[in-house]
Amino acid sequence: MKLSFKPAIAALVLAAPSLAFAAEYEIDSAHSGAQFSVKHMMVSNVRGAFSKVTGTANIDEKDITKSTVEAVIDATTINTNEPKRDEHLKSPDFFDTAKYPTITFKSTKVEKAGQNLKVSGDLSMHGVTKPVVLDVEGFTTEAKDPWGNTKRGGTATTKINRKDFGLGWNKVLETGGVAVGEEIAITLDLELNKKQAPAATPAAPAAKPAAPAAPAKK
């Protein structure tokens, strides 16, 4: 029986252009962060941040809507510049970081929004997963740092209701209202490093031909 490889070869040729335009990036934790803001006592905003964000992004240069991103926030790094409040936020009343140490986002859809993007995805926090939409600015151009690394950067923002994720602790105020607002404004400032292609492994040198055997002595 004669086998034909033409269909398989054709499929590889058609797939090659899309693969060629996809580039993988890693989130640079040293230059990235997640910030949040919530209403306090109905009169002011309290701001805080998570200092460790990791993850990857696959950016399709040919069609940006085919790109994907996954991010992980270390919830134990929460900082509102008030140690007692930070300990309360880590407790079971809020994030319960002993049980749920991370907050994750995984994109499901990327859409163009003028010069910017809307990235839909699943946000998992405190054991609950809900769909959210990030408004994203940037990530459209590359830059080289002084050490030859290729970078991208941008900002993503969204708003969520903390009660949707089981973060329901509150106190009612005598003057009306509550101590902690329900709506949380979130900002992600991300810097990405382009992954370098693995160096090609040098081919092993060809084996030298064996020396001819010496003639036998008579």
Strand partners, 44: 40
Q: Is residue 186 part of a domain?
A: yes
Whether pLDDT at 217 is above 60: no
Q: Is residue 153 part of a domain?
A: yes
pLDDT score for 169: 55
pLDDT band at 38 (very low <50, low <70, confident <90, very high): confident
H/E element holding 11? helix 6-20
pLDDT in tens, 173-184: 445 444 566 778
Q: Is residue 154 part of a domain?
A: yes
Q: Is residue 206 part of a domain?
A: no
**Which of 30 and 145 is assigned the larger pLDDT?**
30
Q: Is residue 179 part of a domain?
A: yes
| Beta strands, E only, 32-99 | 33-40, 44-50, 53-60, 68-74, 78-79
The mean-pLDDT minimum among 92-96, 168-172, 178-182, 202-206 falls in: 168-172
pLDDT score for 143: 81
Q: Is residue 200 part of a domain?
A: no
* Cα distance between residue 192 and residue 26, in whole Å: 5
Strand partners, 102: 74
Q: Is residue 218 part of a domain?
A: no
Q: Say which CATH number the domain at 182 has.
A: 2.40.128.110
Q: Which residue range forms the structural domain that includes residue 89?
A: 22-194
Contact of 63 with 110, CB cutoff 8 Å: no
- How far the first Cα of the chain sits from its last, in Å, is 57
Q: Please count the structural domains in the chain.
A: 1
Q: Which residues contact residue 3 at a Cβ distance below 8 angstroms, ignoring those fewer than 6 apart? A: none
Q: Is residue 35 part of a domain?
A: yes
Q: Which residues contact residue 45 at a Cβ distance below 8 angstroms, ignoring those fewer than 6 apart? A: 37, 38, 39
